[in-house]
């Protein structure tokens, strides 16, 4: 498959099943028919021993669920398929490395109210649901997402709104979870209305993977409703160019036509997108969908995800390979969330080779060196 082409994944691809276009294009049908059990998965995929054991043993940590739309992107026999590695459990998820944590971003320790994370001075993270259309195996919030682990997300809605009303330094609210776009139009509209009634909240953001997992949810009616709440930003999450199908492109186009600014947040994952070629195809395809690459995250130290993590040097190498070889709009900021709650820390290749009071020695994308003189104090000549 040409990764820069927009492939359609119509019902005919779904294991030969006779599914009407009306059903296939229904978000309700997609959610009702998610692939969730070992029996469901084995109808469509030839599983490796590691995958079969993972499906059997990881169900109490993070649920398995994949929409038919996204499942169609999985290679049926290749366990190293980059789409497959993101959503099909593996036995490695049962192993915990000593460096890994249940809450690697320290969110629980920054909750003044259950479900509201206030880590940065002027913005908050509002965890509004614990459910997603599909579940990523590297989920940062696997401790509370999907409803199968012992720990539960217990958001206190009224307390959260009252906290925001009484905290004037908050100007930016990010709705996340889980996935807020799983809410009905009316429920989401009520929440956005309550937030818009708080004078000091300047703009709203939604973090969502629904446009990738469930593009059928992005209806004209949803877009019309969201348009009322500008300035409104949506951060989508896609990791591989194959995820950007023609259906996804059209869904993102509907959001863009509604004036919604979109940025993409990728996670650097071993065997998924840890190559310069895949990342370049991804960012270029995102721009064709009117989405700007925003962040490339170093994978968090989540329990049971060592098999999906790369080293930071790999990420720096990829960013270095993009600079000068694709448009600047296509280069995301590479960041790591400081383990334990340090917030986002930007990571960049070394472009400053030497610096003193007189000059800065720089290198460009070709490795050539350039000298930029620092301004010097000088006496003004007498007139």
Which residues have a catalytic role annotated? 119-120, 123, 132, 136, 139, 141, 300, 337, 344
C-alpha distance from residue 39 to each of 56, 79, 133 (Å): 11, 17, 19
- The count of residues in the chain is 383
For 235, phi then psi, to 5°, come to -100, 110
User: What is d(CA 56, CA 349) in angstroms, rounded to the nearest whole number?
Assistant: 42
Q: Which residues pair with 235 in a beta bridge?
A: 207, 263
The answer to whether the CB of 359 falls within 8 A of the CB of 368 is no
- Nearby residues of 296 by Cβ (< 8 Å), 6 or more positions away: 266, 267, 268, 279, 315, 318, 319, 332, 333, 334, 335
Q: Which residues pair with 343 in a beta bridge?
A: 338
342 in the Ramachandran plot: left (φ > 0), alpha (ψ -120 to 50) or beta?
A: alpha
User: What is d(CA 103, CA 218) in angstroms, rounded to the nearest whole number?
Assistant: 31
User: Containing H/E element for 159?
Assistant: helix 157-165
For 84, phi then psi, to 5°, come to -60, -45
């Amino acid at each position: 498959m040409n990764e820069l082409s927009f492939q359609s994944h119509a019902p005919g691809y779904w294991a030969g099943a006779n599914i009407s276009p009306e059903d296939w294009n229904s978000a309700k049908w997609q959610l009702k028919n998610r692939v969730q059990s070992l029996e469901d998965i084995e109808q469509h995929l030839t599983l490796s021993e590691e995958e079969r054991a993972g499906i059997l043993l990881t169900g109490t940590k993070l649920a398995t669920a994949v929409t038919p739309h996204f499942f169609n992107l999985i290679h049926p026999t290749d366990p190293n398929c980059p789409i497959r590695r993101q959503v099909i459990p593996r036995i490695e998820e049962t192993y915990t490395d000593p460096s890994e944590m249940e809450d690697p971003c320290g969110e629980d320790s920054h909750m003044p109210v259950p479900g509201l994370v206030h880590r940065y001075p002027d913005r908050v993270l509002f965890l509004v649901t614990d459910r997603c259309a599909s579940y990523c195996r590297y989920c940062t919030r696997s401790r509370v997402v999907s409803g199968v682990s012992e720990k539960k997300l217990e958001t206190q809605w009224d307390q959260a709104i009252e906290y925001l009303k009484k905290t004037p330094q908050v100007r930016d609210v990010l709705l996340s979870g889980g996935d807020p776009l799983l809410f009905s139009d009316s429920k989401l509209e009520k929440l956005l209305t309550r937030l818009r009634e708080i004078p000091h909240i300047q703009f709203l953001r939604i973090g969502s993977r629904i446009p990738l997992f469930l593009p059928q949810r992005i209806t004209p009616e949803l877009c019309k409703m969201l348009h009322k709440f500008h300035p409104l930003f949506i951060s989508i999450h896609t990791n591989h160019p194959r995820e950007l199908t023609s259906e996804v492109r059209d869904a993102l186009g509907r959001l863009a036509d509604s004036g919604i600014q979109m940025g993409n947040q990728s996670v650097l994952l071993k065997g998924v997108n840890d190559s310069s070629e895949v990342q370049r195809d991804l960012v270029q395809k995102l721009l064709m969908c009117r989405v700007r690459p925003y962040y490339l995250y170093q994978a968090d130290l989540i329990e049971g995800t060592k098999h999906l993590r790369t080293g930071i040097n790999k990420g720096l190498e990829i960013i270095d390979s993009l600079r000068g070889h694709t448009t600047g709009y296509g280069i995301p900021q590479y960041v790591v969330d400081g383990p334990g709650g340090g917030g986002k820390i930007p990571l960049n290749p070394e472009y400053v080779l030497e610096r003193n009071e007189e000059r800065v020695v720089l290198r460009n994308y070709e490795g050539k060196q350039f000298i930029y003189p620092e301004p010097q104090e000088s006496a003004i000549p007498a007139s």
